[in-house]
């Protein structure tokens, strides 16, 4: 586009002040739009490069406004011809330099924080004023010299643009803004080469129109950048919209999954608590059945006792009923416990011992049960219940010939952490070996031996103001 336009201008030697003014105005408008676009991109992407470029183009826009106002003869207090040479040419150079310097400096500043933008703008403005002063002193047009160059003072501009284009092009993995600037800067460099050959409007020469070509090129470069930036902005917006819609979709999917998982968990929870309830119900039922069967057996034994005449046989069956009662009582305690697995053994021992004493009918025998609270399961409770039954029964049968006395049941934790069950009486004392020889008690002693080894316990029997049976067993309280 630039090439075609430049060719037309050169061939037809267009040097119209109106065309010149239109191009100046376009450059000003394009710079302003570029500054706004860059500012917008920097806000959205938080890129310092776009921000410093926006500052540079902002300053440039102000400079071009000045140049354009002169072209529109709004600031002229001299004759039009004087102004044309003095101010039009005089403000071109500073704004040309300041734009190349600004764009180049933005590249160098790209790693600095954005708050330096103000200082950068001030530096550019001061530089512009300095350039303005310098270019009032420097000659504007010279006779064609080296290579026919008429404005050697402008030689720096295309060189700076070339450097900038190279710098932006080299920016590895640079933002899209950088490649847009690189392309625009290349066109700028080319356009400003033409300016080196420009001459005053009334100067007849073969190179008439080179100034216009430079102006045209500048506008073309500006438009190129403007277009690229618009495209970047549009692409960004499209990407953002896509990302947002993807996010919305993902959110909906997640919410849906959460709802599904929640309802699954609620269902699983319900099933689990139902299963637990079912388990409790089943366990209660089993304990109930066991207890009922024990009572059934007890009833049969009871009925059998009534039909027997032999006192030894009756005694043996009554002994059996005591043991059945101990087992039934364990199951009764289990059914009443909250976890259906363990229960506190201390009230149980009291109830058990009381029942044995009253069952055998020792009205003048006092009982004391001192048990620390201890949660036990079936595996400990059954042997413990039977042991207490046997030991208390032994004391009742052998210790008190006159039917008076005292029995003590103690459950305590020893210093080494083991449990100690002590059943003692203040009776006459008896030889357990001797007692075991008696027919009726052979079973009791055998049971005690078996239960002690089941509990992996140690039993010590002493006769000292009565009989003391001490059973030591390990129990960590966690059945």
Phi-psi region of 150 (alpha: psi -120 to 50; beta: other; left: phi over 0): alpha
Q: Which of 17, 148, 336, 347 binds other proteins (CB under 8 A)?
A: 336
**Do residues 358 and 399 touch, judged by C-beta distance below 8 A?**
no
Q: Does 433 bind other proteins (CB under 8 A)?
A: no
Pick between residue 204 and residue 311 the one whose CB is nearest to other proteins.
311
Q: Does 278 bind other proteins (CB under 8 A)?
A: no
Is the Cα torsion angle 207, 208, 212, 213 positive or negative in sign?
negative
Number of chain positions touching other proteins (CB under 8 A)? 23
Q: Which of 32, 58, 158, 328 binds other proteins (CB under 8 A)?
A: 328
Q: Which of 359, 377, 429, 479 binds other proteins (CB under 8 A)?
A: 359
Pick between residue 295 and residue 436 the one whose CB is nearest to other proteins.
295
Give the whole-angstrom CA distance, residue 104 versus residue 106. 5
Smallest distance, other proteins to C-beta of residue 415, A: 36
Q: Which of 82, 255, 270, 358 binds other proteins (CB under 8 A)?
A: 358
Pick between residue 179 and residue 337 the one whose CB is nearest to other proteins.
337
**Which residues are 408's β-sheet partners?**
368, 424
Of 113-121, 183-191, 214-222, 352-360: span binding other proteins (CB under 8 A): 352-360
Smallest distance, other proteins to C-beta of residue 312, A: 20
**What are the Cα distances from residue 58, in Å, to 8, 29, 64, 93, 110?**
32, 11, 10, 17, 17
Of 222-230, 267-275, 287-295, 426-434: span binding other proteins (CB under 8 A): 287-295
Of 110, 108, 120, nearest to 45 by C-alpha is 110
Secondary structure (DSSP) of 237-272: HHHHHHHHHHHHHHHHHHHHHHHHHHHHHHHHHHHH
Q: Does 422 bind other proteins (CB under 8 A)?
A: no
Using CB atoms within 10 Å of the CB of residue 18, give its burial: 0 to 12 exposed, 13 to 18 middle, 19+ buried.
Answer: exposed
Write each residue from 297 to 326 as x if it is in contact with other proteins (CB under 8 A), else as -, in one continuous string. -xxx-xx--x-----------------xx-
**Do residues 294 and 331 touch, judged by C-beta distance below 8 A?**
yes
Pick between residue 8 and residue 282 the one whose CB is nearest to other proteins.
282
Q: Does 434 bind other proteins (CB under 8 A)?
A: no
Pick between residue 127 and residue 295 the one whose CB is nearest to other proteins.
295
Q: Does 335 bind other proteins (CB under 8 A)?
A: yes
Look at strands 375-376 and 404-413 and give their pairing. Answer: unpaired
Q: Does 57 bind other proteins (CB under 8 A)?
A: no
Of 183-191, 288-296, 381-389, 426-434: span binding other proteins (CB under 8 A): 288-296
Residue 422 parent element (H or E): strand 419-425
Q: Does 294 bind other proteins (CB under 8 A)?
A: yes
Is the Cα torsion angle 92, 96, 98, 102 positive or negative in sign?
positive
Pick between residue 297 and residue 410 the one whose CB is nearest to other proteins.
297
Smallest distance, other proteins to C-beta of residue 385, A: 12
First to last CA, the chain: 94
Smallest distance, other proteins to C-beta of residue 457, A: 26
**Do residues 419 and 458 touch, judged by C-beta distance below 8 A?**
no
Q: Does 329 bind other proteins (CB under 8 A)?
A: yes
**Do residues 106 and 52 touch, judged by C-beta distance below 8 A?**
yes
Site residues (vs other proteins, CB under 8 A): 284, 288, 291-292, 294-296, 298-300, 302-303, 306, 324-325, 328-329, 332, 335-336, 355, 358-359
């Amino acid at each position: 586009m630039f090439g075609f336009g430049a060719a037309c201008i050169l061939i037809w030697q267009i040097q119209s002040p109106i065309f010149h003014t239109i191009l100046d105005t376009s450059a000003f408008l394009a710079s302003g739009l570029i500054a706004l676009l860059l500012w917008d991109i920097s806000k959205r992407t938080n890129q310092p490069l776009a921000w410093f470029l926006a500052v540079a183009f902002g300053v440039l826009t102000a400079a071009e406004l000045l140049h354009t106002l002169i072209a529109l003869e709004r600031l002229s207090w001299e004759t039009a011809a004087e102004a044309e040479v003095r101010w039009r040419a005089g403000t071109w150079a500073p704004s040309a330099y300041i734009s190349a310097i600004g764009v180049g400096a933005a590249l160098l500043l790209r790693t600095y924080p954005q708050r330096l933008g103000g200082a950068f703008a001030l530096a550019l403005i001061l530089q512009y004023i300095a350039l303005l002063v310098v270019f009032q002193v420097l000659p504007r047009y010279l006779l064609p010299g080296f290579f026919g160059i008429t404005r050697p003072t402008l030689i720096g501009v295309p060189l700076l643009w070339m450097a900038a284009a190279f710098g932006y092009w080299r920016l590895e993995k640079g933002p899209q803004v950088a490649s847009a600037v690189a392309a625009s800067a290349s066109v700028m460099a080319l356009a400003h080469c033409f300016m080196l050959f420009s001459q005053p409007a009334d100067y007849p020469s073969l190179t008439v129109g080179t100034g216009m070509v430079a102006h045209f090129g500048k506008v073309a470069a500006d438009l190129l950048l403007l277009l690229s930036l618009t495209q970047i902005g549009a692409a960004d917006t499209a990407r953002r919209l896509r990302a947002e819609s993807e996010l919305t979709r993902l959110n909906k999917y997640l919410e849906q999954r959460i709802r599904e998982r929640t309802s699954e968990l609620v269902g699983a929870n319900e099933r689990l608590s139902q299963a637990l309830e079912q388990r409790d119900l089943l366990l209660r039922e089993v304990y109930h059945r066991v207890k009922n069967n024990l009572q059934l057996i007890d009833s049969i034994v009871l009925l059998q006792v009534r039909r027997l005449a032999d006192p030894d046989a009756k005694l043996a069956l009554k002994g059996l009923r005591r043991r059945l009662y101990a087992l039934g009582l364990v199951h009764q305690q289990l059914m009443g416990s909250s976890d259906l697995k363990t229960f506190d053994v201390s009230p149980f021992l009291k109830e058990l011992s009381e029942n044995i004493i009253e069952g055998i009918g020792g009205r003048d025998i006092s009982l004391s049960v001192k048990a620390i609270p201890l949660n036990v399961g079936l595996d400990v409770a059954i042997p413990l219940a039977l042991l207490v039954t046997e030991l208390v029964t032994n004391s009742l049968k052998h210790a008190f010939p006159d039917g008076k006395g005292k029995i003590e049941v103690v459950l305590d934790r020893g210093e080494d952490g083991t449990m100690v069950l002590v059943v003692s009486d203040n009776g006459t004392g008896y030889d357990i070996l001797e007692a075991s020889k008696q027919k009726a008690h052979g079973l009791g002693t055998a049971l005690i031996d078996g239960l002690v080894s089941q509990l992996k316990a140690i039993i010590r029997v002493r006769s000292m103001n009565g009989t003391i049976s001490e059973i030591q067993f390990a129990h960590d309280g966690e059945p």
